[in-house]
Structure 1
């Protein structure tokens, strides 16, 4: 029953697909639809309209990419649901809770699933929800520096919205992907180099963009004050971005409204490690895609490209150092 194709969906990156009934039903359940109002970049959308990727869009993309790579229906479901427990403003909750591993959403994953319609939907289609949702899939999540559908999709999607890359480049990259021993590899050295450079832009030019860092720092300060004043509660983070912002606005608390007003792009940010207002160090992330050509065993692209060796070295140095910002109000 669950193999019947009943719904057509279109993704901006990967195109149009017919999906099975179980996927169609999951896509329209409340727990998934909530993700349409949760921005992947935290508060970044408040300062740049191009930083607008939502957890829903990304979740659908991961599901479809796993499908394109030949993943099972169960793996596609895992991909669709992998971000289901992200709270409002995504990783901003980690800054609030001082979660160094940025994994608060993982800690509440089971709770969120169990309180949703998801188990009953999966059971309806003859699937054991508990067994399925505890599966491991390297296509979905493989340890760094390898590629996985999650890592690939958020990179392509963020940088496409930022206009750093275009659809032709994305399609050329997708066409060069293959799977060997359950690991995602590339059949083209130029595409392996391209994606490594693109991922460098994701972690350095997007994650560590001074305005992005400022927006999330300012949002964190606002939310801490709103929690302290009991205008919002931690339970509110199980809703979405708009829900929390509406509660803050409706409070008419002038201190909070002033903090909210400060989250804008009209600010001068200077990188200065001697006098700084903000310091942000993210988890060190860098990819080293596996290259698999001419029947050879997969090897990391850095072993055959000195350019990529150097790029990874520079990127990791920047990530380990973190970013120091001096804020000068406009």
Structure 2
């Protein structure tokens, strides 16, 4: 992922540096984008490189800065995952929010307010917390699917590279073809200039979407959600523990009666079709119309 970070940092918002050292941002280094599936024995998920919510958030901030040079929008993008708990969207399964995946997003403002380092720096920069606590307010940062936003762009580029679907030269080609355009409704959107490049990117995004919604992904996330529900019910974990790092939570589980259940989870490597029929686990559909 270092190659991707180098691409983003060709136009780097230096002013975000103090925020990166905050406790809330540093915590995201221990939360992986693969939602705990990297702990399984699946041939894909167990072999992908580290891709943390911290890496993703910095990437989103760099993309927004590249296209807007607006500090408030950039910080809103930087903070957009600051309330993400361990194992990311597995918590949406725990909270039965896996189709929308917004169960933690309303906590962003509260976390910012409680982080002294962030609040002091916002004061120095003359920016209010309300201007950076909701990235949905900025179309370049986030918009409705299937439009292309900085958030959607970053995790697609990151996963194309991490899933070994594309090489860095192809990622650079996509990134360098992007501009900001104005839609019929007057809102701005990141879009491609070249239709052939846009098509190539769109099919790449679909290939990632097939991984996000594959049987193993759905099954693995639901199994991990079951472990977390049990851990919370039996007071092995407290709600506040979900804001630790993933390794810290795993260690708590390993020192509990759920150790064998966790070990079983880590041995998962595939799913097999049952001849008696499938169990339906709905998935959030992720796709992009980039042109």
Q: TM-score, normalised by structure 2?
A: 0.87
Give the secondary-structure state (helix, strand or coil) at the position aligned to 2:280: strand
- The root-mean-square deviation of aligned C-alpha atoms, in Å, is 2.2
What is the Cα deviation at residue 198 of structure 1? 1.0
Give how far 1:10 is off: 8.1
The 3 A distance-change label for structure 1 pair 184 and 268 is closer
Number of the residue aligned with 1:247:
252
* Equivalence for 2:185: none
Match of 2:255, SS state, is helix
CA change 1:265–1:151 in 2 (3 A) is farther
Q: Structure 1 residues 142 and 246, CA, compared in 2 at 3 Å: closer, same or farther?
A: same
Larger fraction in strand: 1
More helix by share: 2
What is the alpha-carbon distance in structure 2 between the residues aligned to residue 107 and residue 188 of structure 1? Answer: 37
Q: How does 1:87-126 map to 2 (within 5 A)?
A: 87-99=85-97, 100-117=99-116, 118-126=118-126
Instruction: Please say if 1:31 is aligned against 2:36.
Output: no
Counterpart Cα distance in 1 of 2:180 and 2:31: 31
| 2:58 alignment counterpart | 60
Aligned pairs for 1:161-176 (under 5 A) are: 161-176=162-177
C-alpha distance after superposition, 1:276-305 (max 9, x if no partner): 4x5321122221122xxxxxxxxxxxxxxx
CA distance in 2, matches of 1:25, 1:225: 38
Residue pair 2:35, 2:88 contacting (<8 A) in 1 also: yes
1:84 is displaced (CA, Å) by: 0.7
Structure number with the bigger relative contact order (C-alpha 8 A, sep ≥ 6) is 2
TM-score (norm 1): 0.78
Quote the Cα distance in structure 2 between the aligned partners of 1:39 and 1:269: 22
Residue ranges of structure 2 left out of the alignment (5+ in a row) = 41-45, 183-187
d(CA) in 2 for partners of 1:55 and 1:86? 8
Q: CA deviation at 1:134?
A: 4.3
Unaligned runs of 5+ in 1: 1-8, 291-330
